[in-house]
Every structure is written in C-alpha cells, then in structure tokens.
Structure 1
Amino acid sequence: MSPDKELDTVIPVSAYKLSGINANPQSDKIDALQVFIATCAGHRRHNDDACAVRLPEGSTLQRHGSLTALADGVASAEAGGEAARAAINGFFCDYYSTPETWSTRHAVARVLHSLNNWLYRQSGGSVEIQRGWLTTFSAIIFKGASAHLVHIGDSRIYRLRAGKLECLSRDHSHRLAPGRTFLSRALGMDAHIDVDYRCEALEPGDIYLLTSDGIHDFLPDTSIQERLLEFGESTPQQLIDTALRAGSSDNLSAVVTRVNAIGSPRCDELAMHNRELPFAPDLRPGQKLDGFLILQELYASNRSHLYLARDQKTGELRAIKTPSVNYCDDPHYIERFIAEEWTGRRVNHPGIIKLYPPKVGRSSLYHVLEYVEGQTLRQWMQLNPQAQIPQVRTLLAQLISALRSLQRLEIIHGDLKPENIMMRRDGRLVVVDLGGVDCPGLREQLLFSDPSVPGSKNYAAPEFFFGDSPSHRSDIFSVGVIAYELLTGSYPYPERLGSLHYHLKSYQHLRFMKAGSHREDIPFWIDGALQKACAPNPKQRYSSLSEFIRDLEVPNSDFKSPKGRPLLEKNPLLFWQLLALVLLFSHLLYFF
C-alpha cells in the first residue's frame, strides 16, 4: 500500500491525550494503557516530526495490539517531513492489514521493507541525503504481555521501570563535531535496510517514552527521568518545554505510555468458547448435527472421523470432521484440533481445503469442510506405480503452489503425505488435512504449545525428531519424499522404516538412496534435485519450493553427471547376486 493517504492517527497538534483500551472517558474501568503525546516545530519554521498512536479494541487488539510510533524527518533532506508523515501513515495502514498468522517481528519487517522501498524510489534511488525522502522511525507495539520495539535512526526508545531509566534503542548516527551529526541509518536511505527489533516483557507500572533528537540531545537522562516520575497528561509537553529552555533548536516530539495492566494473548471464540465444547458423538447416516444431515461415514481412525453431510438450509454437501473421544482428556490434542480450524479459516487457495465458519450456537466440537470428490494421492500412486516424469512434475507444481500460499502466511504444514492429499476428478490436487499446522500467530494468539511431532515419520523432516525447530524447509523435505515416492515407489531413506528411525542420533546417520537405483530412466540432475530436497540437514535443502520445481524441469549445472555409478546403485539385485557368488566360491576354495 502506498503511504500517500493521510490518516487521522497522525497527531499534528502541540498536545494530545488518548488513554486506555476503553476510550470512553466516563468508564470506571482502569485503562490498560495511558498515552500522552506532544509535538512542535520549536524554533524552526516547519515541523518535520510525525507521531501517532492507535489503541484498538476487540479482535484487532487481540490480533495486532496497540501501537505508538514516532518519525523524525531528516532536516537536511529535501523531503524529510513528507517522509516522516508517509512512514507513519504507511506503517499504521499496512501493519494492521498484515495476516494474523504472521509473527509480529515478521509483520514489522515486511511492512518496513515495503515502506523503505517506496521512500527510496521517491528519492529516485539517490544516495545523496540532500535529495532524499529520509526519516528515522521508532515504534512500540504493545501486544499481550510484551512490548515489541522497532527502531532505525537516532530517535530513541526509553523505559522507566521501578524508578530507573534505561534507553532501549541504539542511535544509528555518528557525532562529527558539536552540533554536527552524521546519520548512518534511516528509512529511505538505501535500497536495503537493517532495522533493530527486540521484544521486552511488560510489567505493571512501566513507562515507555519515544523522543526525537530535539529532546534527548538537549536533556540529560536525569532530567528525562524526573519528568517521567511525575507521569501525567502534561509530561510530554514538560519534556518539550525543558528541552527548549536547554537550548534545543530542532523539532521536538514525545510519546509517553504508561502500562497500568498487562493483557494476555486471547484468541477469538475458538479459544474462548471451543475449548469448552463437548466432543461430537459417533454419528450414523440419518442423524442430524446442528442442521447437517449425516449421509455416510467417509473415513475413521483412532484420531478423528469424517462424515459426508448435507446442509439442510442450503442443500450443499459438506464434510464434517469430528475429534475422537479417545482424546477427550488430552489438552494438546484439543489444542491442535482447534488450531486446524483457526488456520484453515485464514487460508484461501484452491489447492487447500476450505474450512467454513461453524453455525451459531453449535452444540459440539467439529469442523465443517469443503467436500472433495476424488481419490487420495496414495490411491492414485497405487494405480500408477513409478509415474512418468512429466506427470510427476505436473502434480508437484500443483502441490507446491498450495504450499507457497501457506508459506506466505508463515504456516508450516508439518504433516504432508499422500494420504492427506486428494486428487479431484479433474486431476487437481487438494491438501485436505491441516491437523499438523504451526505458525507464529497460533502461538501468539491461541497460546499454542503442542510439542509433539505432527507428521508421519516416513514423511516428517528429521528436525522434528532431533529436537531442532521446524521451518518451511521441513515441508520441502516432505515434498521431496513424496516426489521420490511418486517416481520410484520407494522411500529415499530405508532406515526411516519401522522403529529404526527413532534410534538415529544425527543427520549424518541418514543415507540417501539414489532414485536411479530404482529406475534407470531418471536423469542424474533430477536425482540431484531429489537429494537436495530430501537432505537430512535443513541447512542443506532448498531455501524455496520454486527452486526445487525449477530443478526438476531444467538441468542444474551444480548437479554433475557421474562418470560411472556404482553397481550397487545401478542394479542392487545384480550386486548382491554377484557378492553372494563370490562368497560361495571363496567358501568352496577354502575346503578344496
């Protein structure tokens, strides 16, 4: 989004008060946050500072938190003031539009990267400060029990805790001489930016302060501390007045926030209500559940049941997924079942099954899903052993397109396998199970904490079992194994079968079996792509799915043609037959 549009969150007046999550001044409820702002041009003709605050309510507060920000346009730049106002406007617009599946850190990084590119282009890509749209930027996001601090430039972030003042930011500037400072980092200064980020735990009574250099360059910490100890509506104006008396010749801005109470991350009705719902009973054809007529059972396991049902109001076919009563007292299972619905309702891609909002007043815990007619990829593989390479490329391209939509939302699927992928009657693939998903939004908003391995050991990446953190490369491993199996009908790591996998202690213990050992018509460069996708160590895998699909289509020069493959790879059966024959002859020679 272009930051051209002016927002009402920019505070251009000399003093402004906006206090509390409940903005009603008549309310007796103690406000969790109190925010006071003051900004002025000082002795200069124009005010190139911009500051803003947003204290949302309800679901917006839960998803993105409250936000205070300050930008100080570089005075020596041609459009410093415009850059500061654009940065504030753009950040407030775009941050509150980011997907709730993203982590706060990732959301901030994406938004600031986009803003920086826009400002840099406004300057014509110039490296000359005098021609640039340059501004410092500092912000605090109060979310749950944490303060997320974002900073670039020489504006500052302070915290007063238990009477002690601490500067939490680092100036990106160098002092050349008294009154002369060289700014080393700012928004719009370069095509690539490095923004400081840190996350601090909140404590009741904390006071956070954002200042432009027109204040902190002219006031000692002791003076700032004294003003904050007397926190009130006039605090930011007192800081400005004191700095002016101390000789400040710059624009001056201050945003002061006191934390009166600490919130906790709370999700929507899924966390507040669904955890209290009873499990749905076992259903039979002809029974009804909240307006759905059960037609038949589609699938049953010890973990869940899937039914075909008809919505009696719309007449549409739906799939109803119910949790197994075997896990009614397992909090991690319930957590993961709720997480599946929360995530599915935030994904929109034809290759990912749709999860629909439940009906108002539902009586039990279940999911309402799109009904996908067709067969599982496992069933298709059984009918098409060792599929042709062009077929495999087509199927993988569909699967990768769906997974990239998850990756853009910072979602790790975690349980990719042929049984969880359906093939529609027209040949299109659909990922139908999101029961193993994980993403930062789940952990921030639903307090998701399930430590268990979500996937099948034959497809789940080794890091799940070795205690390393999973990432999008974990899904790349699973896709690589599926591709290998589509082509060969086998797994790339035989030692993962049975119970042996659980005894492996490092990535080095997994030995990749070349796909060419199962099919002589597989080119060496496709074999190389499969091996890289299935690398045990995630650092050695592809960094993106697009690289993998490209290497399956076009030979990668990094994969060298072997001069001659060992007989064990080319023909394992002949190798072992010859070895047995040699052993037999040596045994006979021993006796003769």
Structure 2
Amino acid sequence: MSPDNDTIITAGPLCDGPAITANVQHNSEGALQLFSASCAGLRQHNDDACAVRLPASAELQRHGSLAAVADGVANAEAGGEAARAAINGFFSDYYSTPETWSTKHAVARVLHSLNSWLFRQSGGSSEIRRGWLTTFSAVIFKGTSAHLVHIGDSRIYRVRHGKLECLSRDHSHTLGPGRTFLSRALGMDAHIDVDYRCEELQLDDIFLISSDGIHDFLSEMVLTELLLDFCSSTPRQLIDTALQAGSTDNLSGIVCRVNSVGLPQCDELAMRNRELPFAPDLRPGQQLDRFLILQELHASSRSHLYLARDQETDALRVIKTPSVNFCDDPLYITRFIAEEWTGRRVSHPGIIKAFAPATERRCLYHILEYIEGQTLRQWMQLNPQPKIHQVRDLLGQLVSALRSLQRLEIVHGDLKPENIMMRNDGRLVIIDLGGADGPGLREQLHLSGECPPGSKNYAAPEFFFGDSASHRSDIFSLGVITYELLTGKYPYPERLGNHHYRLKSYNQMRFTNASSYRNDIPHWIDAALQKACATDPMKRYNALSEFVQDLQIPNSQFKAPQKRPLLERNPLLCWQLLALLLLLSHLLYFF
C-alpha cells in the first residue's frame, strides 16, 4: 500500500504464522525512499513494532523524516505493548518538540519521558519478566545528516560504496552458546543511557534498521546482497531469507535509500530573507511597506531602530534595520536573520515580541513590539544602590525570562542593562536577541560556531577563549548585572576602550567583594554573587533557581569570612605600629 507522505504506519501483531501478512511501505520518489515490513514469524504474536514518516516540506525541514524499529523483550510480560507504546509515543512527541531544540536534545528529552512512563508501567521494577521492556533503534534524516538513536540489540546498518557497516552497538552480554542477556532497554531502569551519533549522508547510501529476528540469522554478505538490490520488496526479501535460514523470532525491517543530497535544508523564510537588500536610512514621514516612520529611536554602527505606525492595524511598532556597514558580511546577515527567527519562537512577557510580516518585505528589517519606558541602565542611574529586596524582584523577572529561553535551548549571549527595558509599570523586558545562540539555531539556520562576545564587561570569560556559549554564560552576565544593581560597580576591573579584549587565564580576573562598596550586604549574598560571577564556568551555578535561592536565603555552605590579621588588611599601618612599639621600648630602656 502507498500511504500519504505525512502518515505514520506501525506494524504490530498482525500475523499468526510464518507467512508475511504485515508489510507496509512508505515511498518517496524524491530525496528519500523508505520501505518497511514486519512479521510474527513462527511465533504466535508479533511483539515487534516499526514505523516510518516522511512529512511535508515545512515539517520535513523542522524535524526531518523518521524511521524506527522497536523489539519488545520476549521474556517480559508486556514486551509487545512496550514496543508499540515506544513507537507511537516517540513519533507523537518528537514531532511536537520546539524547533529551537537540537535533534540530539529533542531525542534525549522524548526518550527520557518514554522510559520513565514504561518503567512506571512495570511498577518501578527492574525485573525483566514483569517489565514493559523494548529495544529501540531509529534514524532521523534531517538536512544532509542522519541522526542515529539506539538502545538494546536491534541494529542500524549502512551500505556505502558497496560495503556494509553496522552503525550501532548491541547492548547485550553473551551467557553461553545461544544465550544472551540484554543489558539495556527502554523501561528497564529509572535512568536511561541511549547511544546517539550523527552521520553525514552521501548519495546512494542505503540504511537498514532491523530486529534481531533478521540480523541474527543472516550473514553480512547476504545482508549486503539483498540491500544492494534495493526495491520496494527488499524488507519482505530480508524476512523471507531469515525465515529460510531458521529464524524463530519476530522479524521487522526498514530500508531506506538516499536518492539525492542537496544543500543543507534551512528555514524557508530565513532563506528568502537572505536575498533581501538592506533598508536605506529612514526619516520621519517616510513609508516602509505598510509602516509609516515616526522617529528614529536609536542608531549604532550595527543597526537602527525606528518608531513606526502600522497603517493596517494602527499599532505602534519598532522597525529594526541592519547597518549598511555589514552588507557584505554573511555572518552578520545570518545572525540578524536569526534574531527575528528566535524572537518569533519565544513567547514570554519578559522578552520582546517579534512579528511576522503580513506581506512580502521589499528589504531586510524586523518588526518588534514598542515598549514604553526606560532602559535598565537609565533606571540604575536614577536609583543608585537600591534596596536589596528591589534587586531581588528585578532579578526574579529576568530569571523568569531567561528560563523561557533555556526551555527552548537558547543562550541569550548579550545580557546587559542597555538590552533590558523597564516598562512604565516596572516590569522588565529583554529587548535584544541579536546574540542568541544554541544547537537548534545552528541546525535550523546553519549558524557557524563563531559567536561574537557581547559587551566586554558583561560577557562571560569563556567567550574570550573561543569557547561555545552555554546557559552558564548567561548566569555570569546576570551575576554582573545583579552586582552592578547593588553597588553601581563591576565585580572585576572595568575593561575600557574599543580594542579587542584578551584574556590569558581565568586567574587573571580578580573578584572584588560587593560588601567593600556597601556595608549592608551580608557575606552570604556576597558569596552568591561571587559564585554566579565565577570566571571558570564549571564553578558557577548550574541553575538559575540556585542563584535566586542563595540571594534570598543564607546558604549554610557560605561561611562568614574570618577576620584577617592586621598585617593582611593594612600592612602599612601594621609596620607603623611595630616601629612605634620598637621606639617606645628603646626609650623605656634608657629612661
């Protein structure tokens, strides 16, 4: 049968004997061809499950095509139910994950959730006979890559240039002739350890995902011959040949051939935006598509912000245009486009909204919400050294916004007071996503690994060593902002000038206690700030909630500092007093 491209097909317990009565196909005449089959073999029930999906173009770009095989553990009471639940749950949940997630992260989250559910179905028991246990092997074809996911003893093979290679590793141990013990499976334990790898696709690659009922009974030579003769009936031929070779297990197989490998797939809107010319400098009264320019709000060497009125809705909007200084800089253009792409996928009151254009744009620009208020920098200048409880409230708002980015696997990368607005009602909004980064953005938009550091006094030190940004980088920037809110100073010596900042080692940076600027800052808040602003990312907080907690409630691990000897606190005074004592003793000796 030939299903629609967006249909999931699952092969389950559909046959009663050795005949292959369960055969499903999923065929695309384009870049990918997929065919699958499943059979109970000589057993009464089929505890295997397999499924394929080749979605339409938009979903194909976001999540890719998917093929998966699950083999329910035969000794488990609910092996078949576990296999079908794993297949159905993975297909449903994976295609519901945010497109800002990397494939690896999405797979890990979905499988962790599935494993927890299967383990609970077993009553939290690791005993195999009582378990909802299944193997799981899948290949996600996305862009020019194949993402491989594997747990158990099902297998993933690839034939390239006529040579067969097994890309997965069996999670089993041999107990003796004909006896093996499965060491890993979905539902076996509360925690899960899944193999993941990413392989670049090549033209005419052929993939096979099979349960052990096939590959345990066929030699590599036979597998290679059958796969090289790729056609819609290849899965049936694999099952037929395995049965003839003496297979006594359930049998399931999915075969796939790569018919073409083009350019890496990229978000369609982002691709179109790359072709747009830069907007000219705008003046009040000018028209840009449906927007009437009212005034210029901000101008820098990198971008321009204009207040504009949407003449269709009468709403005030902010138009952000790129600077013509970078019209020939591909990295700048990609990151400018990525800012809009990110903004349209984030929904939080503490992060500025980006709107989709209603019509085709004549040039490159963003449409952003207009926020009435002042920047956090302006508020800090008017409110030097605010009360600690005020700072806690502001910090809580920023943490809430950053958590929404973390859930989408996005690192902001350029937190600073100038990039944070305070609405007239006192609520904070992060207004600039130009430094946003993350694995999902790199997959979808093909951002390079290069991520320029933000402002020198707020950027995490690892940026200056060329390391990738992480959520700990945002925690460093947040720690610096919190420190500055409390003291009006930076926790490290200010980095001045426009020259490129160089950092030789983390030890080069010396933290100054906030209490040296404000006597009312307790030692435990000082210690929390120092941990958040630690130069080494591995010594910082791992979670934003931990930082917030330690600013509200004293952490018992933060010990009050011992009073230092006078010689350390004031060496000059110490030596002066010592000299005076020596002089007095000398005078007393003579008188």
Shorter chain as normaliser: what TM range? over 0.9
- Listed one character per residue, the Cα deviations across residues 150-172 of structure 1 (whole Å, up to 9, x for unaligned) are 00001011111111111111111
SS at match of 1:15: strand
Q: CA deviation at 1:16?
A: 2.2
Q: Does 1:105 pair with 2:113?
A: no
Q: Which residue identity lines up with residue 116 of structure 1 in the other structure?
A: N
Aligned ranges for residues 372-383 of structure 1 at < 5 Å?
A: 372-383=371-382
Q: CA deviation at 1:500?
A: 8.9
Q: CA deviation at 1:577?
A: 8.8
Aligned ranges for residues 293-304 of structure 1 at < 5 Å?
A: 293-304=292-303
Report which stretch shifted further, 174-183 or 415-424.
174-183
Q: Does 1:10 pair with 2:3?
A: no
Q: Who is 1:25 aligned against?
A: none
- Change in Cα spacing, 1:418 to 1:569, as seen in structure 2 (3 Å) is farther
Q: Which residue identity lines up with residue 428 of structure 1 in the other structure?
A: R
- Listed one character per residue, the Cα deviations across residues 205-257 of structure 1 (whole Å, up to 9, x for unaligned) are 11110110111111221221121121112211111111111111110011111
Q: Who is 1:115 aligned against?
A: 114
Q: Who is 1:26 aligned against?
A: none
Q: Which residue identity lines up with residue 548 of structure 1 in the other structure?
A: F
Q: Which residue identity lines up with residue 11 of structure 2 in the other structure?
A: I
2: CA distance between counterparts of 1:462 and 1:566? 32
Tell me, yes or no, if the aligned pair for 1:492 and 1:514 is still in contact at 8 Å: yes
Q: Who is 1:588 aligned against?
A: none
Q: Who is 1:590 aligned against?
A: none
* TM-score normalized by the length of structure 2: 0.92
- Change in Cα spacing, 1:233 to 1:118, as seen in structure 2 (3 Å) is same
1: CA distance between counterparts of 2:399 and 2:571? 38
Q: Which residue identity lines up with residue 10 of structure 1 in the other structure?
A: T
Report which stretch shifted further, 339-348 or 229-238.
229-238
2: CA distance between counterparts of 1:500 and 1:328? 23
Q: CA deviation at 1:502?
A: 2.2
Report which stretch shifted further, 390-399 or 321-330.
321-330
Q: Does 1:475 pair with 2:474?
A: yes
Q: Which residue identity lines up with residue 352 of structure 1 in the other structure?
A: I
Q: CA deviation at 1:452?
A: 4.5
Tell me, yes or no, if the aligned pair for 2:348 and 2:401 is still in contact at 8 Å: yes
Aligned ranges for residues 499-518 of structure 1 at < 5 Å?
A: 502-518=501-517
- Change in Cα spacing, 1:245 to 1:366, as seen in structure 2 (3 Å) is same
Tell me, yes or no, if the aligned pair for 2:23 and 2:36 is still in contact at 8 Å: yes
Report which stretch shifted further, 154-163 or 413-422.
154-163
Report which stretch shifted further, 437-446 or 92-101.
437-446
- Listed one character per residue, the Cα deviations across residues 97-116 of structure 1 (whole Å, up to 9, x for unaligned) are 11111111000000000000
RMSD: 2.1
Q: Which residue identity lines up with residue 426 of structure 1 in the other structure?
A: D
SS at match of 1:296: strand
Tell me, yes or no, if the aligned pair for 2:411 and 2:438 is still in contact at 8 Å: yes
Q: Who is 1:425 aligned against?
A: 424
Q: Who is 1:222 aligned against?
A: 221
Q: Who is 1:37 aligned against?
A: 36
2: CA distance between counterparts of 1:201 and 1:403? 33
Q: CA deviation at 1:9?
A: 2.5
Q: CA deviation at 1:268?
A: 2.9
Q: CA deviation at 1:433?
A: 0.5
Q: Who is 1:487 aligned against?
A: 486
Q: Which residue identity lines up with residue 14 of structure 1 in the other structure?
A: A
Q: Who is 1:410 aligned against?
A: 409
SS at match of 2:11: coil
- Listed one character per residue, the Cα deviations across residues 312-352 of structure 1 (whole Å, up to 9, x for unaligned) are 11111111111112222222211111010001000000100
Segments of 5+ residues of structure 2 without an aligned counterpart are 1-6, 13-20, 581-591
Q: CA deviation at 1:450?
A: 6.4
Q: Who is 2:435 aligned against?
A: 436
Aligned ranges for residues 537-556 of structure 1 at < 5 Å?
A: 537-556=536-555
Q: Which residue identity lines up with residue 19 of structure 1 in the other structure?
A: N
Q: Does 1:169 pair with 2:168?
A: yes
Q: Who is 1:27 aligned against?
A: none
- Change in Cα spacing, 1:454 to 1:367, as seen in structure 2 (3 Å) is farther
Segments of 5+ residues of structure 1 without an aligned counterpart are 1-6, 21-29, 586-592
Q: Who is 2:589 aligned against?
A: none
Aligned ranges for residues 191-340 of structure 1 at < 5 Å?
A: 191-340=190-339
Q: Which residue identity lines up with residue 290 of structure 1 in the other structure?
A: D
1: CA distance between counterparts of 2:230 and 2:311? 60
Q: CA deviation at 1:181?
A: 2.0
- Once the two structures are aligned, what percentage of the paired residues are identical? 74
Tell me, yes or no, if the aligned pair for 1:48 and 1:82 is still in contact at 8 Å: yes
2: CA distance between counterparts of 1:381 and 1:126? 56
Q: CA deviation at 1:566?
A: 7.2
Tell me, yes or no, if the aligned pair for 2:451 and 2:468 is still in contact at 8 Å: no
Q: Does 1:160 pair with 2:168?
A: no
Q: Who is 1:139 aligned against?
A: 138
Q: CA deviation at 1:131?
A: 1.1
Q: Which residue identity lines up with residue 304 of structure 1 in the other structure?
A: S
Q: CA deviation at 1:8?
A: 4.1
2: CA distance between counterparts of 1:82 and 1:569? 70
Q: CA deviation at 1:439?
A: 1.6
2: CA distance between counterparts of 1:344 and 1:550? 29
1: CA distance between counterparts of 2:274 and 2:493? 40
Tell me, yes or no, if the aligned pair for 2:457 and 2:494 is still in contact at 8 Å: no
Report which stretch shifted further, 269-278 or 386-395.
269-278
Tell me, yes or no, if the aligned pair for 2:453 and 2:464 is still in contact at 8 Å: no
Tell me, yes or no, if the aligned pair for 1:71 and 1:88 is still in contact at 8 Å: yes
- Listed one character per residue, the Cα deviations across residues 414-460 of structure 1 (whole Å, up to 9, x for unaligned) are 00000000011111100000011112222112111162524101000
Report which stretch shifted further, 8-17 or 307-316.
8-17
Tell me, yes or no, if the aligned pair for 1:495 and 1:510 is still in contact at 8 Å: no
2: CA distance between counterparts of 1:156 and 1:509? 51
Q: Does 1:532 pair with 2:531?
A: yes
Q: Does 1:49 pair with 2:57?
A: no
1: CA distance between counterparts of 2:424 and 2:73? 60
Q: Does 1:151 pair with 2:150?
A: yes
